Amino acid sequence: MVHGTTSLRFADQVSERAAARTVSGVWTTLDGDRTWGSLAAATGLRDLLVAVRAEGGWCADPHRADVLLRRLVSLRAAALAVATRQGSRISPVLSRQAARYGIPLLTATAGMSWQRLAQDVSDQRHREDLHRADRLGELLDVLRHGPRPDTVQRLTDWLADATGATVALVGPAGTPITTVPAGSWPQLAGAFEMIAEIRAGGSPAVPDPGGVPLALHAIGPRAPHHVLAVMGVQPFAREARESIAQAAGLFALALQSQQAEAGRTHARATQNALKLAVFQLLTVGETDGARRCAEAISPGLLDAPNATVHLLEVPPGERDQAERECAGRLHGKALALRCPASADRLIVVEPSHDRNSAHEADTLARVLRQISADGPGRLLRRGTTVPVAETARSHREASRALAIARLRRDQSADIGPSSQLATVLDGRAAHWARNLLQPLLQLPPETRDPLTSTLRIFVRFPGAQAANVLGLHRHTVTTRTAAATTLLGLDLGNAHTRALLDLALQLQSRIPPSTAARAAPTLAELLGQPAARAWAREFLARLGHDNADLRTTVQTWLACHGNVGHSAERLGVHSQTVRSRLRRAEQVLRRRLVGGASSVCDPLFAFAALGELELELADWTRPEDPAH
């Protein structure tokens, strides 16, 4: 009968000389004049069975039992067999001590053969090997798929189950990261001081407060350490001590892996923030600052004089994967970042040396088209190639094209510059824009540029999205917008005024640097140009080809400043009918009318150019500054 288990590695076989003898011939009485020290000289005991009689009371003496068992451990004895009288039991003192030292304890009777004892030890060894294999298999399952967020918790659960003890992993700050059983941290109160000492890099001499079995391990190469604390209800057997040592090493690897992953996550977040900062500088025309920041991402990234903005929209949950694909295939030749205004969109800024190059033959464009084709439900659209300082315009065009493509799910057509009103107006349009923006243009650049860039985004995006695109707090956007509109004398709560300002900002890059005085035309005069009227007829003809109700609905909605309820009332239909027609109109006009990144400038002025809509402020002009 075996009274203890152990993880001690037994010898492959017992001595043939010992196996040939019987127990009855070698029983030794460890009492009387026989000294304990005589065992030290018995070097032949190494890897052999040791048989003793249970006479003389030594089994019940903790000190004498401890001396024997420690000596057997030093000699690597395979097991201890104790001869007892029929029906008697081994002392609990000896059983506990044997379990603590990991010495297999067997009972025998005089006359039992060595072969029988050897077989008992072999059977016990086999059972323990199977048990150890099961435990290591469980540990392998914890680590099979590499580091995961729950690896530390799973290791803690495994160790608590393997040792039957209370297990806690304490962080460098002294607070428990995980405990098993849950809520058992107060049970370790007696070890708090020692845990604190180990965290600080010390090593307490006796980690055994109040006689309670306790194992403490410092985790990590430098203080302050994590600390693995294991508190048992009885002395740890050798198997338990091995499990604790194995787990301590694996905790160190798991924590190191977590720290490395946290570092990689921080590095990615830093790079993403840097990319966003570069894009935001580009959208406000700060090309020098953008190029300096881009050097930290990829040297020479924005050295080209021109840029094209591509927008890639992916199904929910796929943006991270698409971002990795872009990073892997673009090789630092373009700026790819997450759109701050849309959680399902990537922005790619492609540098270009030739504004007239064909995108179909361009390597980066082909790569982006391949990425778009790699996943169902992906949409790719681009703006025109523009000077780097006008990146915001290419982004605006790409946003408009993507909005329409989303509605149509038709990837066949990009939006071209010829379909925008600003591109068909003649040179007098620049003087009109300068007249409207004059109070802003007269400000010093350090004041003017932030206000202008904020307005440029604000007229296109709702307030919250505008703040995200610019990387500013929404209160900052509100403050800047209020300051600019007060200076200009405009009310952006009026949809017609927003469109007016949108057109002027589109024309800003065409304003000549000359200070020669020249009268500015009115907007009505600009819209009355033959080229503008021809553009308006072609633009609105799309509505008529589909359904006459669409044209009437869009015209009424624009006249009502985008108010669906008022439009429905005037048309005599339900509000939902108006919304449905507007969505259909977005498809045929290729303009986003409702929601984020709306673009009502072109349809509004098209109706006005044909005399089908009366604009507020159409004849408004600002008195010319005498300096001009």
pLDDT tens-digit map of 588-625 = 787 778 765 667 888 889 999 998 888 866 556 666 55
Q: What is each CA distance from 477 to 347, 381, 450, 467, 599, in whole angstroms?
A: 22, 28, 10, 6, 20
- Report which of residues 603 and 38 the model is more confident about: 603
Strands 226-231 and 345-352, sheet pairing: unpaired
Which residue, among 308, 396, 291, 420, has the nearest Cα to 355 in the 3D structure? 308
Provide DSSP, 232-270: -SSPPPHHHHHHHHHHHHHHHHHHHHHHHHHHHHHHHHH
Q: Which of 52-66, 435-449, 453-467 has the highest mean pLDDT?
A: 435-449
Q: What is the pLDDT of residues 279-306, one digit of tens each?
A: 888 887 788 888 888 888 888 888 888 8
Lowest mean pLDDT, pick from 131-135, 319-323, 333-337, 386-390:
131-135
Q: What percent of the chain has pLDDT over 90?
A: 1
Q: Give yes or no for a contact between 567 and 617, defined as CB atoms under 8 angstroms apart.
A: no
Task: Give the torsion sign (CA, 153, 156, 160, 166).
Answer: negative
332: alpha, beta or left, given left = phi > 0 and alpha = psi -120 to 50?
A: left
Strands 345-352 and 306-313, sheet pairing: antiparallel
Q: Kindly state the helix (H) or strand (E) to which residue 308 belongs, with its residue range.
A: strand 306-313
Round to whole Å and give the CA distance between 142 and 157: 10
Round to whole Å and give the CA distance between 71 and 179: 37
Q: What is the pLDDT of residues 339-364, one digit of tens each?
A: 887 778 888 998 887 665 544 445 67
If you ran DSSP here, which 8-state letter would residue 2 be given? B
Q: What is the pLDDT of residues 471-489, one digit of tens each?
A: 778 888 888 888 988 898 8
Question: Would you place residue 53 in the very low, low, confident or very high pLDDT band (cuts 50, 70, 90)?
Answer: low
Q: Give yes or no for a contact between 216 and 191, defined as CB atoms under 8 angstroms apart.
A: yes
Contacts of 302 (CB under 8 A, 6+ apart): 278, 282, 287, 290, 291, 294, 335, 349, 351, 388
Q: Give yes or no for a contact between 154 and 142, defined as CB atoms under 8 angstroms apart.
A: yes
If you ran DSSP here, which 8-state letter would residue 113 be given? B
Q: What is the pTM of this model?
A: 0.50
Q: Which residue has 């025109």 as its token pair? A: 384
Q: Give yes or no for a contact between 516 and 624, defined as CB atoms under 8 angstroms apart.
A: no
Q: Across the strands, what pairs with 79? A: 49
Lowest mean pLDDT, pick from 36-40, 67-71, 117-121, 331-335:
36-40
Q: Give yes or no for a contact between 170 and 196, defined as CB atoms under 8 angstroms apart.
A: no
Q: What is the pLDDT of residue 17?
A: 36
Tell me: pLDDT of 567 over 70.
yes
The crossing angle, in degrees rounded to 10, of helices 564-571 and 575-589 is 100
Tell me: pLDDT of 76 over 60.
yes
Is the bond into 104 cis (omega within 30 degrees of 0)?
no
Q: Give yes or no for a contact between 607 and 558, defined as CB atoms under 8 angstroms apart.
A: yes
Q: Which of 106-110, 111-115, 582-586, 607-611 has the highest mean pLDDT?
A: 607-611
- Report which of residues 52 and 626 the model is more confident about: 52
Task: Give the torsion sign (CA, 444, 341, 279, 385).
Answer: negative
Contacts of 49 (CB under 8 A, 6+ apart): 14, 18, 77, 78, 79, 80, 81, 114, 117, 118, 121
Question: Would you place residue 35 in the very low, low, confident or very high pLDDT band (cuts 50, 70, 90)?
Answer: very low
Q: What is the pLDDT of residues 193-219, one digit of tens each?
A: 888 888 888 765 445 545 578 888 888
Q: Could you tell me the two tokens for 530?
A: 């033959």
- Report which of residues 359 and 152 the model is more confident about: 152
Contacts of 263 (CB under 8 A, 6+ apart): none
Q: Could you tell me the two tokens for 310?
A: 């591509």
Q: What is the pLDDT of residue 131?
A: 60
Q: Give yes or no for a contact between 420 and 602, defined as CB atoms under 8 angstroms apart.
A: yes
- Report which of residues 527 and 619 the model is more confident about: 527
Q: What is the pLDDT of residue 25?
A: 34
If you ran DSSP here, which 8-state letter would residue 346 be given? E
Tell me: pLDDT of 568 over 80.
yes
Tell me: pLDDT of 114 over 60.
no
Round to whole Å and give the CA distance between 273 and 165: 46
Q: Across the strands, what pairs with 310? A: 348, 382
Q: What is each CA distance from 412 to 381, 404, 415, 505, in whole angstroms?
A: 10, 11, 10, 29
Q: What is the mean pLDDT of residues 411-425?
A: 59
Round to whole Å and give the CA distance between 230 and 521: 85
Question: Would you place residue 184 in the very low, low, confident or very high pLDDT band (cuts 50, 70, 90)?
Answer: confident
Q: What is the pLDDT of residue 19?
A: 31
Lowest mean pLDDT, pick from 103-107, 151-155, 481-485:
103-107
Q: Give yes or no for a contact between 594 and 578, defined as CB atoms under 8 angstroms apart.
A: no
Question: Would you place residue 1 in the very low, low, confident or very high pLDDT band (cuts 50, 70, 90)?
Answer: very low
Round to whole Å and give the CA distance between 450 and 286: 10
Q: Across the strands, what pairs with 168? A: 179, 229
Q: What is the pLDDT of residue 388?
A: 87
Contacts of 475 (CB under 8 A, 6+ apart): none
Q: What is the mean pLDDT of residues 331-345?
A: 83
Tell me: pLDDT of 395 over 80.
yes
Lowest mean pLDDT, pick from 288-302, 351-365, 419-433, 447-461:
351-365
Q: What is the pLDDT of residues 213-248, one digit of tens each?
A: 888 888 888 888 889 988 887 777 777 888 888 888
Burial of 341 from C-beta contacts in 10 A (0-12 / 13-18 / 19+): buried
Question: Would you place residue 418 in the very low, low, confident or very high pLDDT band (cuts 50, 70, 90)?
Answer: very low
Is the bond into 224 cis (omega within 30 degrees of 0)?
yes
